[in-house]
Amino acid sequence: MAGNGTDAGPGSDSFPTSSRAAVTALFLAHHRRLVGLASLLVDDHGSAEEIVQDAFESLYKRWNGLRDPSTAVAYLDRSIVYGARSWVRRRVTARSFVPPEAGVLPSAESAIVDGRRKEELALAIRELPQRQREVVVLRYYLDLSEEQIATWLGVSTGSVKRHAFRATAALQKRMEAWA
């Protein structure tokens, strides 16, 4: 620091007493370097400036909670790195999102028909004999293998196959009748 006790430049040991003056002094001393750091991390100058601004805002809000004001520069450095990491993560997420194509969405009529078909299927499943219903639910709802279903139900794998075949045939016949 300069001898007047108001400059918080690199290597300074004392800071102004008010948080506003201290953060302002740090801003004047480190802003350019921090924007450079953030620019290297995010490859976008405008976003780098926003990240630095957010870091200084955060420091200002937390200034009175700092145990050692001399750690403020390290706090800013970490804030820049974490802020840049979050910015890059958001950018990757935004770029990977592919909005659905216009006109590809089902019509209201088809959505109602699909909903009705699902209700009919649920009703048909409820009407199956208990063992067949259990096999169908474990297979298609929990995505269990035939061996896992056999273990869960305490029956042989052949029994699971037989119940699955009968349930599928009954459901297919029932759904064709409703079509």
In this prediction the pTM is 0.48
Residue 39's SS3 state is helix
Distance, CA of 22 to CA of 73 (rounded, Å)? 11
Write down all domains in the chain, each with its CATH number in brackets.
19-96 (1.10.1740), 108-178 (1.10.10.10)
* For residues 156-163, average pLDDT: 95
A 10 A CB-CB count for 176 gives 8
For residues 59 and 79, give the distance between their C-alpha atoms in angstroms, rounded to a whole number. 9
Q: What is the pLDDT of residues 23-53, one digit of tens each?
A: 999 999 999 999 999 998 998 899 999 999 9
Model pLDDT, residue 30: 95
Cα–Cα distance measured from residue 166 to residue 179, given in angstroms and rounded to the nearest whole number: 20
Residue 136, judged by CB atoms within 10 A of its CB (0-12, 13-18, 19+), counts as buried
